[in-house]
């Protein structure tokens, strides 16, 4: 598969999406445990974690899509594979 500007944007978007996914799920777990420590109900703590997990999944889907379409604008017509 050729690394076209669209595919480069897709790859970079996927990498950013994965990093964001892990950061948001970590933050959701951390905030849920802090909420539980501060007398929040278990239902509220699960709701916080679920909201962050949903946001993480949305970003995992959207970042590669945005990268795919933004790649040609960012990378333009870079000659890849020997300039041919």
12 located within any domain: no
80 vs 47: which has the higher pLDDT: 47
Residues whose CB is less than 8 angstroms from the CB of residue 14 and which lie 6 or more positions away in sequence, other chains included? 63, 64, 67
Does position 84 have pLDDT exceeding 60, yes or no? no
**pTM confidence score:** 0.79
Q: pLDDT class for 80, splitting at 50, 70, 90?
A: low
**How many structural domains compose the chain?**
1
Round to whole Å and give the CA distance between 14 and 17.
Answer: 5
31 located within any domain: yes
Q: Provide the domain limits for residue 52.
A: 17-75
44-52 CB contacts, 8 Å cutoff, 24+ apart: 52/24, 52/25, 52/27, 52/28
pLDDT tens-digit series, residues 8-66: 999 999 999 999 999 999 999 998 888 877 887 888 888 988 999 999 999 999 999 99
83 located within any domain: no
């Amino acid at each position: 598969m050729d690394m076209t500007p669209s595919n480069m944007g897709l790859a970079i978007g996927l990498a950013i999406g994965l990093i964001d996914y892990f950061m948001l799920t970590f933050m959701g777990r951390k905030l849920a445990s802090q909420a539980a420590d501060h007398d929040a109900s278990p239902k509220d703590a699960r709701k916080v974690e679920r909201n962050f997990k949903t946001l993480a999944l949305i970003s995992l889907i959207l970042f590669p899509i945005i990268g795919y379409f933004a790649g040609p604008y960012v990378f333009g017509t870079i000659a890849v594979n020997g300039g041919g």
